[in-house]
Chains A and B, each alone.
Chain A
Amino acid sequence: MEEQKANKEGQSEQPHNDTRRDFLKQSSLLTALVLTPPTVFNAAAARLDEKVAEKFEKVPVTLEINRVKQKLSVEPRVTLLDLLREQLNLTGTKKGCDYGQCGACTVHVDGVRVNSCLTFAVMLDGKKITTIEGLAEGDELHPMQQAFIKHDGFQCGYCTPGQIMSAVACVREGHANSEAEIREYMSGNICRCGAYPNIVKAIQEVKNGGQKV
């Protein structure tokens, strides 16, 4: 596909497009390969085919995402957040900083809230991941989602999936016993719109309603 596109315009200025796997001999990876045993280096220089290159770049992982098992092949440097957003079209999980400072990317891994931007996908082989898209039961919203709507726990909505995933975990962890405790245990989730008091109300309602979260 790239080859087709690359032939259209500006081709002369993009000498690298013809064989994208050529990087093994010509890119900076070469530097890395110089440090590896000569056999590998020679193999690289001898133009490896796609399959071999794939092995260098990608690692197979099996993830259960929102109750569906997926066999994937991902580059080790791909974060769970970018995997979800850029490869699996699960864009409900948001990127707000990419540095583990805002909570917009919060998902559950085996039931525990994590910042998906700080988690490499390859670390999660065999794990169960729940994203905001997997929280509702079909059309039936999760009680926390309902409470967020009722108490208007958001404005722009961008921090909301992270807030909700965090809020569910906060209740499950037993850290939602008072307003102060909720505020403390939700402080990893920034809401720049400032809907904090409404978010706290939503969490309190779910906690006090005693519904199963």
Chain B
Amino acid sequence: MGFIDDKEVEAPFVGDPMDRIDGRLKVTGTATYSAEYQLPEMAHAVLIGSTVAKGRIKSMDTKQAERAPGVLAVISHLNSPKVPGHINRDHPAEPPKIGQPLRVFYDDKIYFNDQPVAVVVADTLERARYAAGLIQVKYKEEPHQTDFNQNKQKADLPTQAKRNPKSGLADYTRGKEDAYATEAIKMEAEYVQPTEVHNPMELQAVIAHWEAPDRLTLYDKTQGVKSTQKTFAEEWNIPVENVKVVATFVGGAFGNALHNWPHETAAIIAAKKVNRPVKLMLTREQMFTMVGYRPHTWQKVGMSASADGQLTGITHEAIGQTSSYEEFTESTLQQSRMMYTCPNVTTRYRILPLDISTPIWMRGPGEATGAFALESALDEMAHQLKIDPLAFRLHNLPDKDPQNGKPWSTNYLRECMEMGAERIGWQERKMQPGSNREGEWLVGFGMGAGTFGANRRGAKAYAKLQPNGTILIQSATTDIGPGTGTAMVQIAADALGVQPDKIRFELGNSAFPDSPKQGGSSTINSVGSAVRAACLELKQKLQQLAAARSGTAFSAAKPEDISIADGSITLAGNRSASITYADLLKQNQGQDIEVLTTSEPGQEREKYSMYSFSVHFAKVHVHPVTGQVLVQKVVCCADAGTIINTKTAGNQMIGGAVGGIGMALVEDAVLDHRFGRYVTKDFASYHVPVHADIPPVEVAFVNKPDMIVDPIGTKGLGEIAIIGVAPAIANAVFNATGKRIRELPITPDKLV
């Protein structure tokens, strides 16, 4: 054919339910995850963790392990090569910077149970594992504090809030402080979110390879190849460009690969020591202790309203757990300040350091925890007012941001609520809890709303027209599962006016142009904008080259009129105007026709409040005798701006619903405080939803563009997919049984 004109291109591709570009690789087992690269002479490392939660290492006997067959090295604080970045901040009182991993093998200090204290490197995995069992460590134990409730009074303001009273983490009051307390119609309740563990199916893994004494390559499970590159360049005091990070496929992460962790440094140290590439994959048990978790959080909500259902006061307090060596914070209370119209709002956020490893943002970080309390409290308030909880929310939806008075860039939460109510069959909900039955089961309906900031960031993309008429695009983003590459191809196809199969999009490599970490629902609005900009710039470049080469027709043309065909570019509506790539290349002095484009957000944040919104509806069955909860149906509605791919985005929403069902009903990481160690350490003891737990999930998108956030109209989806799901289920359980469960998960023992 050799020619694609506007009619033959079935644009726009944005919005299509296109199959994933990497689907074939994933279903044939040929997608390569971090532990799956084959390097010559690769050795295997196994980490040994401490068995006490606090204290010092008294002695370590590694002799037997060192003599075990195949063992290449046993490394601990006793013999670890010095890590330059660790030594640089050698003041014992100085905590590591936020986001910096624990200084592994640095000294004899123990900060949490299962802290890595040694690593065994051997020629095979089995030999490394066997030798690891031969190491004898003795500790000088100190009393540890891991019990949240016993230490709650020690909670304190985060440093950031102490330094800056304007910080989002600082105390906040709008109107009168704690106004609810003096109102006539009010509620007050405490809510507990237990520790949850991300537990992606892929175990955290890294291959560290020193290609030269100052050149490091990492095949690493990370959500940020650039951030990881920077972290380890600093840690090893080598130029950033000497560190290469590859994360082409990431087997889920949900936030736990937003941070760099001790095991990564341990593998790098090991590779240095044995002078061979070293592969280190955590065990499932270590996934509970070494790569973060959603922190145990206590919350208290006080709420008041007028008899006709107008909110008059909200006070929302939270204490989130962190580690003793790193300050972890999240925005648990943000939505209470801006979701609903309310003249008097107070929020107070505190953190509580315990002798446990550092938490890390887990899908819908903070907000998902906060929404459990806020959306449960709204349900409690509505019940007290004898008002339908949907009507109560609709009545209190603000038409501008009540926190700062700015207009919303877009806010279709009302539409979401209306769409969802119809789909779940909200009219079948009974106002009187416990009064609805299907057979022997109690039936309940519940809802929960969510929001997350549309946080577009700066990003770069590279685009190049290849001699065969295909376009190569690269950006150093990652894809932990949402289908980033597929969405980018769709965006690029529209921007370039070519078929998606002419585009190759590459990600997951630190050699590519700068991109933020894949987190905070910001990939599409940040990287998508960069990809679009690069494609438009490429077209402009083609038009300029064509104009310079062959004159009038192209000079008069606009970049968007340029058609990229097989071997030549042409003009839409003027097929006789055509110029071959060979000629264009000549015009470009034989240089590749390529662009490197930066795309940055503008001043819009100063003028607008920008958020994605979601609402989730659940119908549950609760067994009156056994307390078993069976979720019957979930409806998820999202206002996330333009939906790039309805198939993958729908799947992402379903995934959020599944995560939320886990949060509501089963997930609970339990510590044995005698040892400060988790007793839940695998999927037998820490439950996550399985096939049998998941009912049909219906997804509906508002799918209206928000052209203020970014030029594609997207706002972000990953977080709002889970925020609000757990309270929807908790509220449905209340509706079914009249029992209000304020401490997750809602296990049968709490209902009987």
Partner of B70, one of A20, A90, A141, A159: A20
Once the chains bind, are B683 and A157 in contact (CB under 8 Å)? no
A-B residue pair count with CB separations less than 8 angstroms? 224
Partner of B20, one of A21, A26, A89, A152: A152
Give the docked Cα–Cα distance between A26 and B270 (Å): 24
Q: Tell me if B506 is interfacial: C-beta within 8 Å of chain A.
A: no
Q: Tell me if B41 is interfacial: C-beta within 8 Å of chain A.
A: yes
Please report the total number of B residues contacting A with Cβ < 8 Å. Answer: 79
B683: chain A residues at CB < 8 Å are 97, 99, 101-102, 190
Chain A, Cβ-Cβ closest to B130: A77
Give the docked Cα–Cα distance between A183 and B19 (Å): 24
Give the docked Cα–Cα distance between A147 and B410 (Å): 37
B689: chain A residues at CB < 8 Å are 194, 196
Q: Tell me if B481 is interfacial: C-beta within 8 Å of chain A.
A: yes
B68: chain A residues at CB < 8 Å are 16, 23, 27-28
B70: chain A residues at CB < 8 Å are 20
A91: chain B residues at CB < 8 Å are 29, 32-33, 35-36
Chain B, Cβ-Cβ closest to A91: B36
Once the chains bind, are A196 and B658 in contact (CB under 8 Å)? yes
A212: chain B residues at CB < 8 Å are none
Task: Decide yes or no: A97 and B284 within 8 Å by CB, A1-B41, A86-B125 being known contacts.
Answer: yes
Task: Decide yes or no: A156 and B481 within 8 Å by CB, A10-B275, A28-B134 being known contacts.
Answer: yes
Q: What sequence of 0s and 1s flags, for each residue 187-215 of chain B, a beta carbon within 8 Å of any chain A beta carbon?
A: 00000000000011111000000000000
Q: Tell me if B57 is interfacial: C-beta within 8 Å of chain A.
A: no
Once the chains bind, are B66 and A14 in contact (CB under 8 Å)? yes
Q: Tell me if B295 is interfacial: C-beta within 8 Å of chain A.
A: no
Restricting to B5-33, which residues have a CB under 8 Å from any CB of A?
19-20, 22-33
Q: Which of B260-268, B337-345, B429-437, B692-700 lies at the interface?
A: B692-700
Once the chains bind, are A23 and B67 in contact (CB under 8 Å)? yes
Kindly provide the distance from the CB of B67 to the nearest chain A CB, expressed in whole angstroms.
5
Once the chains bind, are A196 and B691 in contact (CB under 8 Å)? yes
Partner of A95, one of B25, B79, B203, B655: B203
Once the chains bind, are A10 and B655 in contact (CB under 8 Å)? no
Q: Tell me if A52 is interfacial: C-beta within 8 Å of chain B.
A: no
Give the docked Cα–Cα distance between A122 and B253 (Å): 34
Give the docked Cα–Cα distance between A135 and B27 (Å): 10
Chain B, Cβ-Cβ closest to A75: B126
Main SS of the interface on chain A?
Answer: loop
Kindly provide the distance from the CB of B184 to the nearest chain A CB, expressed in whole angstroms.
43
* Residue of A78, A152, A183, A194 contacting most chain B CB atoms (<10 Å): A194
Task: Decide yes or no: A200 and B283 within 8 Å by CB, A23-B68, A152-B648, A155-B252 being known contacts.
Answer: no
Q: Tell me if B298 is interfacial: C-beta within 8 Å of chain A.
A: no
Q: Tell me if A62 is interfacial: C-beta within 8 Å of chain B.
A: no
Restricting to A165-213, which residues have a CB under 8 Å from any CB of B?
182-184, 186-200
Once the chains bind, are B72 and A17 in contact (CB under 8 Å)? yes
Q: Tell me if B241 is interfacial: C-beta within 8 Å of chain A.
A: no
Q: Tell me if A113 is interfacial: C-beta within 8 Å of chain B.
A: no
A29: chain B residues at CB < 8 Å are 69
Give the docked Cα–Cα distance between A68 and B29 (Å): 18
B647: chain A residues at CB < 8 Å are 152
Q: What sequence of 0s and 1s flags, for each residue 8-52 of chain A, a beta carbon within 8 Å of any chain B beta carbon?
A: 111001111100111100111100000000000000000000000
Task: Decide yes or no: A16 and B71 within 8 Å by CB, A91-B29, A157-B26 being known contacts.
Answer: yes
Partner of A89, one of B38, B73, B284, B480: B38
A14: chain B residues at CB < 8 Å are 66, 72-73
By a beta-carbon cutoff of 8 Å, the part of chain A in contact with chain B is 1-2, 5-6, 8-10, 13-17, 20-23, 26-29, 57, 75, 77-78, 82, 85-86, 89-99, 101-102, 104, 131-133, 135-136, 141, 145, 148-150, 152, 154-161, 164, 182-184, 186-200
A-B contact pairs, 18 of them (CB 8 A): A16-B71, A20-B70, A20-B123, A23-B67, A28-B134, A75-B124, A75-B126, A78-B126, A86-B44, A91-B29, A99-B684, A152-B20, A155-B655, A157-B481, A158-B201, A159-B201, A194-B654, A197-B654
Apart from A14-B66, A154-B23, A187-B692, list 13 A-B contacts with CB within 8 A: A9-B274, A16-B67, A23-B69, A27-B64, A96-B202, A98-B283, A132-B27, A148-B23, A155-B252, A156-B252, A164-B27, A191-B201, A194-B656
